[in-house]
């Protein structure tokens, strides 16, 4: 694997067109690492991974560091937003403003220090075309010269989505009743929030679950919160949360701001908060959230503190997703 920025970076297995087998292989690898974290403890010996953050993080930063350490790599974190020079990403920019260094100059230097680079960038939520062009991560990949892992970009969060499928599979192994026939009913439901958030987690979860193809996938959101069709195509979409929750095996709760009239929150209808009462409609559903979560805004305390909540397990699994991805890159011919 040369880069990990989207499910589209996975390769279909020979003789297949879909990505289901490739996703399941990464999931199996991750669960092997969970069972035996140090089984490849020398795989990355002598190699260095750089984790660059243009935005805050708790889980992504620490889980990726732990994963790299389990593989014997040296991990160095650089909070570019706080400690680095202000970067320019536009080609041909006249740099007479606040930006000090062009990515064209900074990225190759970083590539000379590290064997793998990881980067987190958020969207501005001001200009949809700019955000969805993924200028930051695209320019970084273009100029750094080493494999790149997305730690969340303007529109996607692939390490989170891989983790989410790992967690779902793990739960299905533990509780077969969560899988009716071949598939679980997985519901992604919009939740209220106090400020406009990126669409990354919802886009990415939709993209991965659709590519995986092993779920009865439903997305519930208020009117005008449609996500980009490129990611949701294949899912059932409804504005009726109760209808969506009926018989759900997994409920993934997440806020996102509007995509069409970009980056807005029109309503913060508290009725969309997931409560114990709503959970009763489901098939004793396991409740997921990528964290950080606004308690009693997105999800009630009762739900988050109940046995249905698997958010801590989900966040813990971030390590194994990162380890499976880093390992796959280390084993590929794309590493120098």
Cβ at position 56, least distance to ligand CP in Å = 7
Cβ at position 160, least distance to ligand CP in Å = 5
- Tell me which of 75, 110, 141, 290 binds ligand CP, using CB under 6 A: 290
Applying CB under 6 A, the span of 34-42, 58-66, 182-190, 234-242 interacting with ligand CP comes to 58-66
Nearer to ligand CP, 69 or 179 (CB): 69
Nearer to ligand CP, 100 or 194 (CB): 194
Residue 199 interacts with ligand CP (CB under 6 A)? no
* Radius of gyration from C-alpha coordinates of the chain: 20
Residue 59 interacts with ligand CP (CB under 6 A)? yes
Cβ at position 77, least distance to ligand CP in Å = 12
Residues 294-333 that bind ligand CP (CB under 6 A): none
Residue 255 interacts with ligand CP (CB under 6 A)? no
Cβ at position 244, least distance to ligand CP in Å = 23
Nearer to ligand CP, 76 or 335 (CB): 76
- Tell me which of 5, 6, 60, 258 binds ligand CP, using CB under 6 A: 60
Which residue, 248, 222, 218, 246, is CA-closest to 234?
218
How many residues of this chain interact with ligand CP, rule: CB under 6 A? 9
Strand partners, 187: 218, 251
Residue 203 interacts with ligand CP (CB under 6 A)? no
For helices 318-331 and 59-70, the axis angle rounded to 10 degrees is 50
Applying CB under 6 A, the span of 25-33, 57-65, 238-246, 267-275 interacting with ligand CP comes to 57-65
C-alpha pair distances (Å), 257 with each of 6, 113, 190: 20, 37, 9
Contact (Cβ atoms closer than 8 angstroms) between residue 265 and residue 193: yes
Residues 145-174 that bind ligand CP (CB under 6 A): 152, 160
Residue 291 interacts with ligand CP (CB under 6 A)? yes
- Tell me which of 20, 57, 268, 296 binds ligand CP, using CB under 6 A: 57
Applying CB under 6 A, the span of 97-105, 230-238, 253-261, 289-297 interacting with ligand CP comes to 289-297
Q: Is 175 left (phi over 0), alpha (psi -120 to 50) or beta?
A: beta
Q: 């983790």: which residue's tokens?
A: 163
Beta strands in the chain (DSSP E): 3-4, 48-53, 74-78, 87-88, 101-102, 116-120, 148-150, 184-190, 215-220, 236-238, 250-254, 286-288
User: Buried (b) or exposed (e) across 44-65, using 16+ Cβ within 10 A?
Assistant: beebebbbbbbeebebbbbbbb
For helices 135-144 and 103-113, the axis angle rounded to 10 degrees is 50
Residue 58 interacts with ligand CP (CB under 6 A)? yes
Residue 289 interacts with ligand CP (CB under 6 A)? no
Q: Is the dihedral of CA 166, 169, 173, 176 positive or negative?
A: positive
d(CA 249, CA 209): 14
Binding site residues, ligand CP, CB under 6 A:
57-60, 152, 160, 290-292
């Amino acid at each position: 694997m040369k880069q990990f920025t989207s499910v589209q970076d996975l390769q279909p297995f020979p003789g297949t067109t879909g990505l289901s087998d490739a996703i399941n292989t990464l999931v199996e690898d991750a669960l092997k690492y969970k069972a035996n974290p140090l089984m490849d403890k020398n795989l990355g010996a002598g190699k260095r991974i750089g984790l660059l953050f243009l935005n805050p993080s708790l889980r992504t930063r620490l889980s990726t560091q732990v994963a790299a350490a389990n593989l014997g790599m040296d991990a160095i974190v650089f909070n570019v937003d706080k400690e680095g020079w202000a970067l320019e990403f536009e080609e041909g920019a006249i740099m007479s403003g606040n930006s000090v260094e062009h990515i064209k100059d900074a990225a190759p230097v970083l590539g000379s220090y590290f064997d793998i680079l990881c980067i987190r960038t958020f969207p501005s939520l001001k200009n949809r075309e700019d955000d969805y062009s993924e200028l930051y991560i695209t320019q970084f990949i273009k100029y750094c010269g080493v494999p790149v892992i997305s730690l969340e970009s303007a529109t996607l969060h692939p390490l989170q989505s891989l983790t989410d499928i790992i967690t779902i599979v793990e739960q299905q192994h533990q509780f077969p009743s969560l899988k009716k026939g071949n598939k679980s009913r997985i519901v992604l439901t919009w939740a209220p929030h106090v400020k406009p958030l990126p669409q990354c987690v919802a886009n990415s979860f939709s993209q991965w679950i659709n590519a995986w193809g092993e779920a009865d996938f439903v997305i519930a959101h208020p009117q005008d919160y449609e996500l980009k069709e490129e990611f949701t195509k294949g899912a059932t979409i409804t504005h009726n949360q109760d209808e969506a929750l009926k018989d759900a095996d997994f409920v993934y709760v997440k806020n996102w701001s509007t995509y069409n009239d970009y980056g807005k929150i029109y309503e913060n209808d508290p009725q969309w908060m997931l409560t114990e009462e709503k959970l009763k409609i489901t098939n004793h559903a396991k409740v997921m959230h990528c964290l950080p979560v606004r308690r009693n805004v997105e999800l009630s305390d009762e739900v988050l503190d109940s046995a249905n909540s698997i958010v801590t397990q989900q966040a813990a699994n971030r390590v194994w997703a990162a380890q499976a991805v880093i390992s796959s890159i280390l084993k590929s011919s794309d590493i120098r």
